[in-house]
Amino acid sequence: MRSTQLITGALAVVATSSLFGSGTAAYAGEPTTTNEKGILLECSGTWRGEEVYASLYENNTYGNTIQIVIADGDVAGGLRETTKAFKDGRDVRGVLKLKGKKAVVEGTARAVGKKTPVHEEHDDAGQHITIDGTHRRLANDLTLTWKGTSVPLDCDNAFVYDLQVTKESTVD
């Protein structure tokens, strides 16, 4: 359980730093705004009896991240940042080396349904961050292949996003 909490915390840090940038603070009175577009596919599955977490995250402003964790990291786990997109049209492919062997998340994903409005405000690292935009669900069919075994992935948290992110210093 402790390793699950550590991994979840690490994922939150990675996702937040990717989503909101590397923490460069705006000067008082000078807000900065970026338009961030991308996808998030968070998936789970079972590989040879062990729980799997796989995440593909694209952000046009801050880059892309793939993460795969098997058995809370006890079997394998890794993270890689890249500028290469994981989604091309409907095709999805992300590759990461785990213990020297290629792990591949691949399949298809397409935007479906209506856009959902998003509004969020919070303070972080001396900045007030306001996020406005939309999410749209990604219907998907993905698998993970590692060490000769392919398994289906269930990606309940999967969406495409288009966000306007405004950061304003809370420090004088």
Which residues make Cβ contacts (< 8 Å) with residue 162, sequence separation at least 6?
A: 35, 36, 37, 133, 134
CA distance 127 to 129: 6
Residue 1 has pLDDT above 70, yes or no: no
**Mean pLDDT score of the chain:** 87
Q: Which of these ranges, 29-33, 128-132, 153-157, has the smallest mean pLDDT?
A: 29-33
Whole-number pLDDT of residue 81: 97
pTM of the prediction?
A: 0.81
Of 163, 159, 142, nearest to 151 by C-alpha is: 142
CA distance 132 to 165: 7
CA distance 147 to 56: 20
Q: Output the CA angle 121-38-160, nearest 5 degrees.
A: 85
Residue 4 has pLDDT above 60, yes or no: no
- The count of other CB atoms within 10 Å of the CB of residue 91 is 11
Of 62, 41, 164, 44, nearest to 111 by C-alpha is: 41
Q: Output the CA angle 158-143-98, nearest 5 degrees.
A: 100
Whole-number pLDDT of residue 17: 43
Which residues make Cβ contacts (< 8 Å) with residue 1, sequence separation at least 6?
A: none
* Residues 160 and 111: beta-carbon distance below 8 Å: yes
Q: What percent of the chain has pLDDT over 90?
A: 81
Across the range 1-21, mean pLDDT stands at: 39
Which of the two residues, 11 and 31, has the higher pLDDT score?
31
Q: 39-94 pLDDT, tens per residue? A: 999 999 999 999 999 999 999 999 999 999 999 999 999 999 999 999 999 999 99
